[in-house]
């Protein structure tokens, strides 16, 4: 594993003669209950984290429904040529009251006449030719294609987010261990200073400096532990564990460094990145939308058939059935200028989408170059930091030995301990950053977890 050199250096740190700290409390053994709780924690591998997020992540699910919606757009365009059947019915009732004067009769004579009209009918309309169908269908197919690419892009980016959060927790766990070991070394140094002060070899200032160094180490440990808890919560949230952090992470296998040239990385990024393909499709979508507006100038042809039944009583009573057939051609000559406005707006949208494609290319190039540089920088930094840790370890051992013989001061020991802790922390950070950078370079080239992405996308209709 990549951290074995660090552990070997830690265990190599054993100053020649160390006295038991006078004021430092001995570290109590972990209670049995805490040990059992630690043993019951789930062990999660990075592969299991990937599977978990693929099954539960909300953004992936949202992108899935985006694909389902986009798949309906081509059918929506074809539906314009589908027949439509409408039915209607009505009933009208009336009462007429007539009052007349008749000679020889006392008073007027009133008569009432009731009548009703019943109406029912069906109308069938079948479009025969609609010039907007073809461009609308093309737009729908492009939208469905873009939605599928967006789904793959979302899956890949989500998986990389899991990897980042996973490695951030591992990084902080390593820092907690390093800071805890630094606290232990600071306690030993405090014990030595206290013992030498009691026999009169050093001044009280040495004890004060050792105490300050130990408290500084404890503060670093507390701060790192708090940051670790925050990052555990972040990972728990990503994995949809509801804030539960009763799990431990297994160390993943090291990712291989492909030593890819920047030119090859850029070529793969532009040929494989889903977001770049989506931007290119957006240009074709706007062109299809403009074609749909242009098609609105062409005539539309439709056939219509209707049957109506009428039943009336009273004057003009009787039943009647009327069946009609109509073949109509619609040719819009004037629409108040709205169509021309839409056409001009569509032209502007095409130019905007072309500019967005150029910006997407610039973003992808910068993203890929940055990831490639991060890998190269981490690779070279690790070599330098390993040499730095080795030198800092040897320096601390020498200064500690010199302090025991009075050849160095307590300030020298504190500085050496601080340098050792910093170098070990930097190396641990860089080792994990290197693993993240390797995966980030794969993400930039649309190669990260490609098998999982393709499998997930294949299960989407």
314 pLDDT above the threshold of 70: no
The reported pTM is 0.81
Q: Where is pLDDT greater, at 429 or 243? A: 429
Domains 4-81+131-297+336-458 and 84-129+299-331 fall in the same CATH topology: no
pLDDT in tens, 260-308: 899 999 999 999 999 999 999 999 999 999 999 999 899 999 999 999 9
Which of these, 401, 421, 399, 423, lies nearest to 411 by C-alpha position? 399
Give the domain ranges of the chain: 4-81+131-297+336-458, 84-129+299-331
pLDDT of residue 143: 97
Average pLDDT along the chain = 86
Average pLDDT over residues 83-93: 88
Checking if the pLDDT of 96 tops 90, the result is no
pLDDT above 90 for 251? yes
Q: 191 with 20: CB under 8 angstroms?
A: yes
Instruction: Quickly count: other Cβ atoms within 10 Å of residue 128's Cβ.
Output: 12
Q: What pLDDT is recorded for position 11?
A: 36
Can you tell me whether residue 92 is helix, strand or coil?
A: strand
Span 59-81, average pLDDT: 95
Cα–Cα distance for residue pair 80/426, rounded to 1 Å? 65
Residue 38: count of CB within 10 angstroms of its CB: 11
pLDDT tens per residue across span 357-367? 999 999 999 99
Tell me the three-class secondary structure of 282-321, residue by residue: HHHHHHHHHHHHHHCCCCEEEEEEEEEEEEECCCCCEEEE
Q: Which of 28-37, 180-189, 197-206, 445-454 has the lowest mean pLDDT?
A: 28-37
Q: Give the side-chain half-sphere CA count within 13 A for 357.
A: 17
Q: Calculate mean pLDDT across residues 187-199.
A: 86
Residue 223 pLDDT greater than 90, yes or no? yes
Q: Looking at domain 84-129+299-331, which CATH architecture does it have?
A: Single Sheet (2.20)
What pLDDT was estimated at residue 14? 37
Q: Is the pLDDT of residue 354 over 60?
A: yes
Question: Average pLDDT in the 441-449 region?
Answer: 96
- The confidence band for 110, taking pLDDT boundaries of 50, 70 and 90, is low
- Could you say which architecture CATH assigns to the domain 4-81+131-297+336-458? Up-down Bundle (1.20)
Confidence of residue 21 (pLDDT cuts 50, 70, 90): very low
CA 390 to chain CA mean position, Å: 40
Q: Which residues pair with 301 in a beta bridge?
A: 129, 329
d(CA 255, CA 105): 116
Residue 268: in which H helix or E strand, if any?
helix 262-272
Question: Strand 42-44 vs strand 84-100: parallel, antiparallel, or unpaired?
Answer: unpaired
Q: Crossing angle for the helix pair 338-404 and 4-12, nearest 10 degrees?
A: 30
* Residue 248 scores a pLDDT above 60: yes
- Tell me the pLDDT tens digit for each residue of 380-436: 999 999 999 999 999 999 998 888 888 888 888 888 988 999 999 999 999 999 999
């Amino acid at each position: 594993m990549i951290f074995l050199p660090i552990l070997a250096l830690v265990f190599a740190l054993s100053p020649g003669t160390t006295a038991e700290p006078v004021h430092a409390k001995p570290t109590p053994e972990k209670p049995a209950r805490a040990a059992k709780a630690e043993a019951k924690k789930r062990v999660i591998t990075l592969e299991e984290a990937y599977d978990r997020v693929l099954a539960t992540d909300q953004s992936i699910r949202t992108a899935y429904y985006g694909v389902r919606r986009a798949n309906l757009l081509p059918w929506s365009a074809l539906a314009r040529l589908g027949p439509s059947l409408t039915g209607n019915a009505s009933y009208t009732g009336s009462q007429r009251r007539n009052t007349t004067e008749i000679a020889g009769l006392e008073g007027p004579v009133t008569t009432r006449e009731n009548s009703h009209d019943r109406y029912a009918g069906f109308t069938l309309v079948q479009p025969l030719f609609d010039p907007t169908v073809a461009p609308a269908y093309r737009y729908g197919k492009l939208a469905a294609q873009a939605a599928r690419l967006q789904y793959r892009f979302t899956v890949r980016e989500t998986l990389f987010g899991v990897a980042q959060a996973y490695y951030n927790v591992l990084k902080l766990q390593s820092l907690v261990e390093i800071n805890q070991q630094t606290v232990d070394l600071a306690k030993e140094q405090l014990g030595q200073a206290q013992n030498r002060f009691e026999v009169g070899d050093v001044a009280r200032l040495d004890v004060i400096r050792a105490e300050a160094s130990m408290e500084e180490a404890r503060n670093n440990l507390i701060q790192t532990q708090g940051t670790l808890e925050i990052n555990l919560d972040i990972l728990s949230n990503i994995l949809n564990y509801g804030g539960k952090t009763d799990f431990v992470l297994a160390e993943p296998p090291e990712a291989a460094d492909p030593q890819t040239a920047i030119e090859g990385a850029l070529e793969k990024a532009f040929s494989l990145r889903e977001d770049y393909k989506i931007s290119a499709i957006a240009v074709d979508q706007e062109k299809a939308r403009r074609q749909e507006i242009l098609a609105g100038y062409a005539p539309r042809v439709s056939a219509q058939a209707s049957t109506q039944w009428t039943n009336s009583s009273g004057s003009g009573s009787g039943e009647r059935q009327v069946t009609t057939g109509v073949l109509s051609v619609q040719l819009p000559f004037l629409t108040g200028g709205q169509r021309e406005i839409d056409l001009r707006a569509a032209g502007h949208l095409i130019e905007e989408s072309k500019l967005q494609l150029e910006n997407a290319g610039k973003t992808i190039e910068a993203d890929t170059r940055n990831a490639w540089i991060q890998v190269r920088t981490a690779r070279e930094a690790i070599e330098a930091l390993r040499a730095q840790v080795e030198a800092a370890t040897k320096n601390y051992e020498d200064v500690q030995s010199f302090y025991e013989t009075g050849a160095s001061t307590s300030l020298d020991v504190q500085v050496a301990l601080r340098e050792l802790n910093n170098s070990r922390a930097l190396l641990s950070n860089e080792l994990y950053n290197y693993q993240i950078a390797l995966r980030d370079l794969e993400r930039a080239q649309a190669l990260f977890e490609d098998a999982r992405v393709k499998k997930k996308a294949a299960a989407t209709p």
